[in-house]
Structure 1
């Protein structure tokens, strides 16, 4: 009798496991992780050099900037908002860095100015959205244009070459194949995860995104939360600017809008609800890695760079489609 009961229990468990695998919600909740693994396997089969140490290092370095931007975007989207100015804020911060470097301010002061400049843009966004009650789309769209223009004015439309051994070490050195910029991004991801899930402010962020009226009724200042998340996004954009300058060796005043699209795509792939109230950091980080792997793999296969935005767009739409099954 005991053996029969054990067999029945085993069969029930197997049926439950099979049913779980057939559940679309299971795959939708893990879209970034599943997609990342699938892409790595496909590209490795098509090009055996894909997982070579040098290429892995290159992909990790390329993903570090997007990971940092995606962390800030994840906080904003978790409140039901969106930061369209994140890429322009990064460019503005990079221009500030280049201006300071050109005038001999010193590396430390240049970094502080870049991060502070990004944070100021974020704080202004948050104040206008939270206290001014202006739609986030309008405010951040305006900030996108203003920050891009300010970057061009500060740099006089010209890139500033940055030659500093300490700064370039962020990309050129590290621990094994892992560069220092990747370690910086990983540390920021851990900090973001802790803040979102282990602190009161993180609970308030999710509450404000899930139901602003109920959050206000419980004493949460939704306006302050808005200022916090946009300030965090701006501050992280400032840090991303430093990583970008260290990688290219110059402060470019021209805005790269692909970072905006990819940061939103990474967040959507990572399972953060565009409606707010649902967030995470691990998912967007995996989403950023997936997009980097996709771009790198297509390049290695000789696919024209003109088709790469098409591939990213398809991935974003597919991820958005999967949200209908997410728990």
Structure 2
């Protein structure tokens, strides 16, 4: 095992940051590592990791998706409304929620492809669809949440296998599947090749249309899972679910080692990046700091990470 290489890796440095942050919080708050707080951390970590992995897939293809939050909210609201108003069984409601996410992905993919495919086109397109999806959510709910969520649905995100919340297990299964996708399948390698150089990828026969559609559908389905997991955790489906996901979605993969320009991912690094963000949010709550500081700190973290990513690219 090459320890020098490990020490120079992004994962090693981020892990040290996490350890230092936890150590500081343990000094300030002696009960910081209580069972209840660890459980709360893991539940939030599961959602943040999924949000980050959703964005990571878009970044890997050379694009970006700022409608992840509204996609997650659409899926959660549709799922909740069907259970509350139509009495739909939990498995069927979850399936509809996933289909809603896939539908948002199809819309994004078609519009992004028609508007150019990557980069600025993906940003502007998803900025527009984010507004559309958010508008639909508030039209359907009139600004009110869905409160009558079946206990069996809520239990999915709050039960534990041993000491581990089931939401963490769901997240780990999804990230393992994403890792296998990029590591061993032609689809994953095509996404990375397209993200590294779209024109060259097309010359080698990689379809721009199919790649963009696959990326957006997959990213949106993962966002849908994240949205429904929030409902499982809090017990209600609020129309503002995902309103704070945009910064998190970019920060988690970039901190974890995903290349900003596309073409390279670090799937399990997303968990480390999400862990940093989760600890920051949790620490601010424990310290009684105003919640708005979270947005400021997340923004500063992204700026620093983008600068470091640029420096690494220049050195290479």
**TM-score, structure 2 as length reference:** 0.91
2:198 matches 1:216: no
What residue in structure 1 maps to residue 264 of structure 2?
A: 278
Distance in 1, matches of 2:148 and 2:193, equals 43
Task: Provide the rounded CA distance (Å) in 2 between the counterparts of 1:317 and 1:111.
Answer: 36
Corresponding residue of 1:130: 113
Matched, 1:96 2:82: no
Please list every run of at least 4 consecutive aligned residues from structure 1 whose deviation after the TM superposition is greater than 6 angstroms: none
- For residues 11 and 227 of structure 2, the distance between their equivalents in structure 1, rounded to whole angstroms, comes to 31
Q: Secondary structure at the match of 1:316?
A: helix
Whole-Å separation in 1 of the counterparts to 2:246 and 2:226: 12
Q: Does 1:68 align with 2:50?
A: yes
Mind listing any 5+ residue stretches in structure 1 that lack a counterpart? 1-15
2:115–2:125 Cα contact (<8 Å) kept: no
Deviations 1:84-113 (A, max 9, x none): 000011111111112211221221221111
Task: Decide which of 114, 119, 122 is 2:97's aligned counterpart.
Answer: 114
- Is structure 2 residue 65 aligned with structure 1 residue 79? no
Residue 142 of structure 2 is aligned to residue 160 of structure 1: no
Asked whether the equivalents of residues 131 and 223 of structure 1 are also in contact (C-alpha less than 8 Å), the reply is: no
Rounded Cα–Cα distance in structure 2 between residues aligned with 1:250 and 1:314? 31
How many angstroms apart in 2 are the aligned matches of 1:214 and 1:316?
30
1:237-256 superposed matches below 5 A: 237-256=223-242
2:298 match? 312
Is 2:227–2:241's contact at 8 Å kept on the other side of the alignment?
no
How do 1:198-237 residues align onto structure 2 when only pairs under 5 Å count? 198-237=184-223
Measure, in 2, the Cα distance between the counterparts of 1:194 and 1:27: 21
Checking the alignment, whether the CA contact within 8 Å between 2:83 and 2:150 is kept in structure 1 is no
| Equivalent-residue separation in structure 2 for 1:260 and 1:212 (angstroms) | 25
**Deviation string for 1:189-226 (max 9, x for gaps)?**
11111111111111101100001111111111122111
* Structure-2 separation of matches of 1:155 and 1:109: 21
Could you tell me whether the CA contact under 8 Å between 1:31 and 1:269 is conserved in 2? no
Task: Give 1:316 shift.
Answer: 1.5
Residues 100-132 of structure 1: per-residue CA shift (max 9 Å, x gap): 112212212211111111111111111221244
Contact 2:70 2:134 in 1 (8 A): yes
* Residue aligning to 1:10: none
Larger radius of gyration: 1
* Aligned residues of 1:209 and 1:277 also touching (Cα < 8 A): yes
Distance 1:126 1:33 in 2: 35
Stretch moving more, 165-174 or 211-220: 165-174
- 2:175 is aligned to 189
* TM-score calculated relative to the size of structure 1: 0.88
Gaps of 5+ in 2: none
- The structure-2 alpha-carbon separation of the partners of 1:195 and 1:156, relative to structure 1 and needing over 3 Å to count, comes to same
Distance 1:309 1:192, change over 3 A: same
